[in-house]
Amino acid sequence: MIGIRIGVPAVAGSVSRACGLLSLAACWLLAVPLAYAANPQPYKVDWVSSGSDAVDSMMKATSQLQTLRQTAPTDPFGLIARARGDVPRLVTVLHSFGYYDGAVTITIDGRGLDGVGLGNSLSALPKGKDAQVRIHAALGPLFHIGRIDVKGALPPGMRRKLRLKTGAPAVASDVLAAGARLQTALQDGGYALARVKAPIAYERPARQILDLTFEVTTGPRVRIGEIRIQGLEHVQESLVRRRLIVHTGERYDAATVETARQDLLTLGVFSRVGVGMGKPDAESRVPLTFEVHEAKRFTVGASAAYSSDLGGSAGLNWGDRDVFGKGEQLTTSVDAINLGGSATTGIGYDATIGYAIPDFRRRGQTLSFQIRGLRQALQAYTQTGETAGASLSRKLSKLWSVAAGVSYQHEIIDQEDLGYDYNLAMVPLSAYYDSTDLASPLLDPTRGLRISLNVQPTFSYGSTQKTFVVVQGSVSTYYDLHQLIESDPPGRTVLAARAIAGVALGATQFSLPPDQRFYAGGSGTVRGYRYQSVGPQFAGSNCPAAGNPGLLQACPVQDVPMGGTNMQAANLELRQRVGTNFGFVVFVDSGGVSSPNGSVYRVGVGAGVRYYTSIGPIRFDVAFPTRTLPGGDAFEIYIGLGQAF
């Protein structure tokens, strides 16, 4: 756990203390080997609280008596050896928390581990009878940091990077973090060869003080020399050099070099990127070598999802991640959709071809083209359409990105036995903010915000001629409850919330194409209700006001969504990880749609399980409506890949 070195002046008994100040992994290697017998001796472990929940938790995670009790049975003499090996191991835990005078006592059936005849006593136990192992840790006084010395020359202002104070608890992780912090600060300041050794600790037991000495080798302050690229096959070197954010002649900065390495990975053409540093030359310049490993150029995949309202979907996708050697990406996908489902009326398809050119004209700017064919048979309408468009996206900073484009869509829509033929010219504009700081989009966010805003001016001609603007926005936030409950490990319990809103400006409800109207209900808004079912609905054909939209609220509905001109929704989830691969969520969703013909707002609740894989969590949710709509379902099921938001 720690790597502080004990100095010569340490008191007697420093051998065990030294082990306590080495990493736990190293100490485990010194433990007594496990013994196994033909007749395993079952046992139970009774932990006596030390008075510190954090210490007790770490001890249980470290103890082989605890961790191997079920998975590695042992005979009576092996049990004694296991207990003896646990003593220095658990003392290590005490030392790592600053309790250098702490002690650990382990007894078996009330007898000490060195008791005469303990092995024979255990061997005489009746078959199947548990031996009673009792572990008691006495913390002793908490040691504090005394004098802090630095051996070696430091540039002005660097000493404060240790951020250690005399009188602070001598917690090993804090002490080691201080040395690592100082080394990082030196390397970021241009001292590429700087090294800070694990500190030497001198105990003063009478005063419960630990004096520390950090040995520092600063080395020369250097600049970046020649930059080499190794490992390229199909990718052109000009792409990599244009992408690099470090250049020859600049002052060496370890953090910037690491950022450059990670940035190359975002191109999507490399599976691994490493950086090596050579020796400084006579002019104090160090060469850098970026060692890249190209990812497989061609990708083939399959996708599948299911929800009880939209039914199943299944598809295939193929891609070329480096068409001409400059990171150009070609993607194709074909999906069969609406395979069953209570909100669908037939099978549909979704086929897409996309092409993207990264770093178009300038770094961080991508030019994309897309052609899409879509048919979906829903209760609200049946749509068959084709879309072609181009967009230019730019990353403004680590947090902000924007995009603008043009697209054309032709679609034929059938709704309420009427057919409409639309031609839509659109200018989609968007802005996106993301402060979740994830290393990979496959990871779950545990903090930060995601904000998106989409504004789409549209000119419709064909069945209707109308100019309107559709505005949609969403805000998602994530809060790690570890910040409130320190005993809960980081990232294990997360509260996630989202708000969505949309409005159509410049058009009435029925002058909008049906697919441009707003709907709520389904996995993207209000779970527990059928897709698009939360909102105004058409009246039944036997309603005397069926031909008068202004009187529709007075008639029974026929379970055909009408859509509206604005929509709001909110989602709240509690996400809990369990073990390594499993998790569960509980959630509440609410939302509704408004129009001149009325508004509907509903709330759904539910729970789900997650199985975490290398490509994201597999999601299984069951949601229930708090108020069943006419013709609605008692519950909805959603199965897919990735979190709901």
Query: Can you spell out the DSSP letters for 441-473?
Result: TTSPP-SEEEEEEEEEEEEEEES--EEEEEEEE
For position 10, what pLDDT does the model report?
33
What's the average model confidence in pLDDT over 554-574? 83
For position 632, what pLDDT does the model report?
81
Q: Tell me which of 179-188, 348-357, 530-539, 600-609 is least confident.
A: 530-539
pLDDT higher at 251 or 21: 251
Report residue 33 as tokens.
Answer: 């080997």
| Residue 272 pLDDT > 50 | yes
386 and 409 Cβ atoms separated by less than 8 Å: yes
| Residue 595 pLDDT > 50 | yes
For position 506, what pLDDT does the model report?
92
Looking at the chain, the number of H-run helices and the number of E-run strands are 9, 31
pLDDT higher at 520 or 32: 520
Give the whole-angstrom CA distance, residue 498 versus residue 474. 7
What's the average model confidence in pLDDT over 6-30? 35
Cα 613 to chain centroid distance, Å, stands at 12
Sequence-ordered list of residues with C-beta below 8 angstroms from that of 262, at least 6 positions apart, any chain: 273, 439
Q: In this structure, which CATH number among 3.10.20.310, 3.30.70.1290, 3.30.70.100, 3.90.50.10 belongs to the domain 223-294?
A: 3.10.20.310
The burial class, CB within 10 Å (0-12 / 13-18 / 19+), for 221 is middle
For position 28, what pLDDT does the model report?
35
559 and 630 Cβ atoms separated by less than 8 Å: yes
| Residue 556 pLDDT > 70 | no
Give the whole-angstrom CA distance, residue 526 versus residue 534. 8
For position 545, what pLDDT does the model report?
46
Give the whole-angstrom CA distance, residue 420 versus residue 380. 14
| Lookup result for tokens 């054309």 | 408
Question: If DSSP states are collapsed to H, E and C, what string results for 558-627?
Answer: EEEECCECEEEEEEEEEEEEECCCEEEEEEEEEEEEEECCEEEEEEEEEEEEEEEECCEEEEEEEEEECC
For position 543, what pLDDT does the model report?
53
Give the whole-angstrom CA distance, residue 589 versus residue 580. 28
CA torsion 77→82→83→86, rounded to 10°?
160
Q: Closest Cα partner for 214 from 223, 205, 201?
A: 201
Give the whole-angstrom CA distance, residue 379 versus residue 622. 22
For position 115, what pLDDT does the model report?
83
pLDDT digits (tens, 9 = 90+) for 210-252: 999 999 999 999 999 999 999 999 999 999 999 999 999 999 9
What's the average model confidence in pLDDT over 135-160? 94
For position 17, what pLDDT does the model report?
38
pLDDT digits (tens, 9 = 90+) for 75-86: 999 999 999 999
| Lookup result for tokens 């990880």 | 577
pLDDT higher at 150 or 116: 150
Q: How many CB atoms lie within 10 A of CB 184?
A: 15
CATH number assigned to the domain covering 298-641: 2.40.160.50
pLDDT band for 128, please (50, 70, 90 cuts). confident
* Amino acid at residue number 373: G
Q: Tell me which of 247-256, 460-469, 615-624 is least confident.
A: 460-469
Q: How far is CA 382 from CA 111, 353, 530, in A?
A: 79, 22, 16
Domain segments of the chain as ranges: 31-138, 223-294, 298-641
What's the average model confidence in pLDDT over 495-502? 98
Q: Closest Cα partner for 583 from 527, 625, 644?
A: 644
**CA triplet 562, 563, 567: central angle to 5 degrees?**
150
pLDDT digits (tens, 9 = 90+) for 341-389: 999 999 999 999 999 999 999 988 999 999 999 999 999 999 999 999 9
For position 540, what pLDDT does the model report?
59
How much of the chain exceeds pLDDT 90, in percent? 77
For position 558, what pLDDT does the model report?
61
Cα 168 to chain centroid distance, Å, stands at 33
